[in-house]
Amino acid sequence: MQTPRIKWHIVVFLAPAVLVYTAVMIFPLFNTLRLALYTEIDQVRSFVGLENFQTLFGDPRWSESFWNALGNNFWFFIIHMLVQNPIGIMLAAILSHPRLRFAGFYRTAIFVPTILSFVIVGFTWKLILSPIWGIAPDLLSSIGLKSLYAPWLGKEQYALTTLALISVWQFVGIPMMLIYAALLSIPEEILEAGEVDGITGLSAFWKIKLPLILPSIGIISILTFVGNFNAFDLIYAAQGALAGPDFSTDILGTFLYRTFFGFQLQLGDPHMGSAIASAMFAIILIGVCIYLFGIQTRLKRYQF
Amino acid sequence: MSSRSLTIALLATTLLAGPALAEDVTLTIESWRNDDLVLWQDKIIPAFEASHPGIKIVFSPSAPAEYNAILNSKLDAGSAGDLITCRPFDASLALYDTGHLADISDLENMANFSDVAKSAWQTDDGSATFCVPMASVIHGFIYNKEAFEEVGVEVPETEAEFFAVLDKFKEDGSYIPLAMGTNDQWEAATMGYNNIGPNYWKGEKGRLALIKGEQKLTDEQWVAPYATLARWADYMGDGFEAQTYPDSQNIFTLGRAAIYPAGSWEITGFNAQADFEMGAFKPPVLNEGDECFISDHTDIAIGMNANGPNTEAAKIFLNWVGSEEFAAIYANALPGFFSLSSHDVAMDDPLAQEFVSWRGECNPTIRSTYQILSRGTPNLENETWGASAAAIKGTKTPEELGKELQEGLASWYEPQQ
């Protein structure tokens, strides 16, 4: 019996990507997971097993912060799912309409905020909404709705929703582009066949196009989920590391940052920080698994 | 024989090197104050070198945010400078504990500093001091003199007068009475709670009692400042909940507000921005004739690398930092950063003079949360930010806040359990 020859060229061609990916992704990931099992006592690192997780979930103060951040994170995600993705799909449907003029211009204009830096977006919106210099109060008062204005970013009950909507404004271009591409790939024949059967206009969208773009919507949902649970930048740029007011905009990313790197007089604790990072990793992993095994396998796929 | 000649050779080189070193010792200062580079090069270093021939000074600052990390790695590698600029409290204490900062308690000019001034750079029991205090910042209120004249009010002395002045401005309507926001949270704690608070908890007496565990954050004197802060909300601008720190500064320097709860570090910036005359008044006392207390917060100091090559020369320099000459140069070049020494330093800036004059009338203390109490999790300083902002916004009652803070502190700080 002859053993199969090792195909060396495969190893050689894979090596650069595997090595780089291992060095910058896989190794840090597992090292973070490992770090979560240690703590530092009198400047000596010692192994403590799952004690950090016990503190994180068992200590009432730590767990309160954690559940608060997780709850806020879910709200942040829900707003994106309910606002960003439907609007993205709607925009894509309008853009793909063959008789729309200036479609290219709209497409670009809506997509541009996506490539802006978080710092710019955070700062600009803070200025727009500012009670002192902002144009939001003036705009509202010019249409007689001044009473609707509130210092949204400074109020516990509105701040997180406001930030989520700012994030929606910034990223609505991504679902729009993905859905737009999916819509364009639907063959004309199918739509024409539908027309022959009397399905036109809106009902063509609901009955033909939407089922065909469902896999894309699934992908967008999972991208939104991963993106939101890793979010940090916008909150940090707009509200700072303390995620004010009174931690009402604290999400897992800012909670991790404060714990890991420390803040003001609070010294950083890399070990507790790693424990939080591991929890985030687990949450995202579970979310992705639910999608992959629970939803994606049941989606019907159509081959054209 | 050979070992003997080696010894002689070594001795000879030491003897030769001794005078050579004495002629030209160069001390390097590690610092995060890169803003002060010109001040050091043009004023402080020439003044020192003129009176101390044979010692040269090099000021080598790094970026503030990176200072702690850079300094730690330099110290570990043994390449740090001879002199080290000290952050207050735990950051420097850790350096002393690991043997990087030398004990300099027996320096002659240390006698020029009060216990409060030294407390930021001492071991918890006060037995060793490891940095010479350089400067502090004082809290109070800066006001628009023209606005006060226009509305016809006097500088308030007591809390009742303070609120009467605010009422007048509110009635008049042409100025926002109080320029402060709660968006960034720290102003509420630093320029609010720790500004007016010392009058309630009697400065050092209350602060030390809290550290010893004799007083609790639920006690009247620690809760009452929150109740006072809650009354401020009526006098702050529309939408103060989303007003940031730079917003407040701009509102005041543009002349749109009457009173700015301040720290003395604002002086330089305000002098450059505001085109009206400004004055300052100290935190109002509760009743007329009460003893007054001010927050004179220790901010920056300088110590000595315990393993540096030129410890003798470094000691000479540190002793000079404790002298009147240094205090005068530093305080005048950076109005708002006041010398911590007991020398009577003449300052040119009128606003800075007003701030520093309170030291003669009132008892100084430092921010209540900085020493020891912010070592654990939850961190009392950060919790106080949130609590002060919540008090002003009225989202929680002062009693609730006191209870929450006390529970947080007691969860890790033994004397409070």
Q: Taking CB atoms and an 8 Å cutoff, what residues of chain B touch A155?
A: 241-242
Please indicate, yes or no, if residue A34 is contained in any of the structural domains: no
Q: CB distance A131–B239 less than 8 Å?
A: yes
Please indicate, yes or no, if residue A45 is contained in any of the structural domains: no
Q: What angle do CA B383, B386, B387 make, to 5 degrees?
A: 85
Predicted pLDDT of residue B32: 85
Write out pLDDT tens, residues A78-108.
999 999 999 999 999 999 888 888 989 999 9
- Residue A270 touches partner B, C-beta closer than 8 Å: no
Q: Is it the case that residue B205 has pLDDT exceeding 90?
A: yes
Instruction: Domain of residue A202: give its range.
Output: 53-298
* Cβ-contact B103, B128 below 8 angstroms: yes
Q: For the purposes of burial, counting CB atoms within 10 Å of the CB of A117, is it exposed (0-12), middle (13-18) or buried (19 or more)?
A: exposed
Q: What angle do CA B174, B180, B184 make, to 5 degrees?
A: 150
Identify the residue whose tokens are 């301040």.
B262
Q: Taking CB atoms and an 8 Å cutoff, what residues of chain A touch B98?
A: 43
Contacts of A126 (CB under 8 A, 6+ apart): A153, A238, B244
Closest CA to B204 of B265, B136, B117: B117
Greatest Cα pair distance in chain B: 96
Sign of the dihedral defined by the CA atoms of residues B89, B95, B99, B101, in that order = negative
Q: CB distance B241–A154 less than 8 Å?
A: yes
Q: Is it the case that residue B272 has pLDDT exceeding 80?
A: yes
Q: What is the mean pLDDT of residues B297-311?
A: 90
Q: Is it the case that residue B389 has pLDDT exceeding 70?
A: yes
Q: CB distance B395–A246 less than 8 Å?
A: yes
Question: Is pTM, for the whole model, over 0.90?
Answer: no
CATH of the domain at A199: 1.10.3720.10
- Which residue in chain B is spatially nearest to A248 when comparing CA positions? B386
Q: Is it the case that residue B1 has pLDDT exceeding 70?
A: no
Q: CB distance B182–A154 less than 8 Å?
A: yes
Pick among A265, A269, A271 to test the B interface (most B CBs inside 10 A):
A265
Q: How far lies B172's CA from each of B160, B163, B236, B240, B255, in Å? A: 18, 14, 14, 19, 15
Contacts of A39 (CB under 8 A, 6+ apart): A45, A46, A48, A51, A52, A271
Q: How far is Cα B370 from Cα B382, in angstroms, rounded to an integer?
A: 10
* Cβ-contact B321, B312 below 8 angstroms: no
Domains of chain B: 2-135+299-346 (3.40.190.10), 138-296+367-416 (3.40.190.10)
Q: CB distance A247–B386 less than 8 Å?
A: yes
Backbone angles phi, psi at A23, to 5 degrees: -70, -40
Pairing of strands B83-86, B25-31: parallel
Q: How far is Cα A91 from Cα B246, in angstroms, rounded to an integer?
A: 38
Backbone angles phi, psi at B412, to 5 degrees: -130, -15
Q: CB distance B247–A132 less than 8 Å?
A: yes
Q: How far is Cα A205 from Cα B45, in angstroms, rounded to an integer?
A: 77
Contacts of A206 (CB under 8 A, 6+ apart): none
Helix, strand, coil % over all residues of chain B, rounded to 5:
55, 15, 30
Please indicate, yes or no, if residue A151 is contained in any of the structural domains: yes
- Residue A152 touches partner B, C-beta closer than 8 Å: yes
Q: Please give the span between the terminal C-alpha atoms of chain B, in angstroms, as a whole number.
A: 68
Q: Which residue has the higher pLDDT, B15 or B263?
A: B263
- Residue A133 touches partner B, C-beta closer than 8 Å: yes
Contacts of A105 (CB under 8 A, 6+ apart): none
- Residue A155 touches partner B, C-beta closer than 8 Å: yes
Backbone angles phi, psi at B56, to 5 degrees: -110, 145
Please indicate, yes or no, if residue A13 is contained in any of the structural domains: no
Q: What angle do CA A145, B241, A128 make, to 5 degrees?
A: 55
Q: Taking CB atoms and an 8 Å cutoff, what residues of chain B touch A133?
A: 247
Q: What is the mean pLDDT of residues B138-159?
A: 94
DSSP assignment of A115-140 equals GS-HHHHHHHHHHHH-TTT-SHHHHH
Please indicate, yes or no, if residue A177 is contained in any of the structural domains: yes
Identify the residue whose tokens are 């309630």.
B200
Please indicate, yes or no, if residue A43 is contained in any of the structural domains: no
Write out pLDDT tens, residues A20-58.
999 999 999 999 999 999 988 777 788 998 999 999 999
E-assigned strands of B146-267? 176-178, 257-263
Q: How far is Cα A282 from Cα A294, in angstroms, rounded to an integer?
A: 17
Q: How far is Cα B93 from Cα B89, in angstroms, rounded to an integer?
A: 6
Predicted pLDDT of residue B23: 60
Domain count for chain A: 1
Please indicate, yes or no, if residue A115 is contained in any of the structural domains: yes
Q: What is the mean pLDDT of residues A166-181?
A: 95
Backbone angles phi, psi at B200, to 5 degrees: -85, -50
Q: Is it the case that residue B13 has pLDDT exceeding 80?
A: no
Q: Taking CB atoms and an 8 Å cutoff, what residues of chain B touch A153?
A: 183, 241-242
Please indicate, yes or no, if residue A286 is contained in any of the structural domains: yes
SS3 label, residue B55: strand
Q: What ipTM describes this predicted complex?
A: 0.76
Cis bond leading into B378, ω under 30°?
yes
Q: Is it the case that residue A132 has pLDDT exceeding 70?
A: yes
The amino acid occupying position A134 is G
- Residue A117 touches partner B, C-beta closer than 8 Å: no
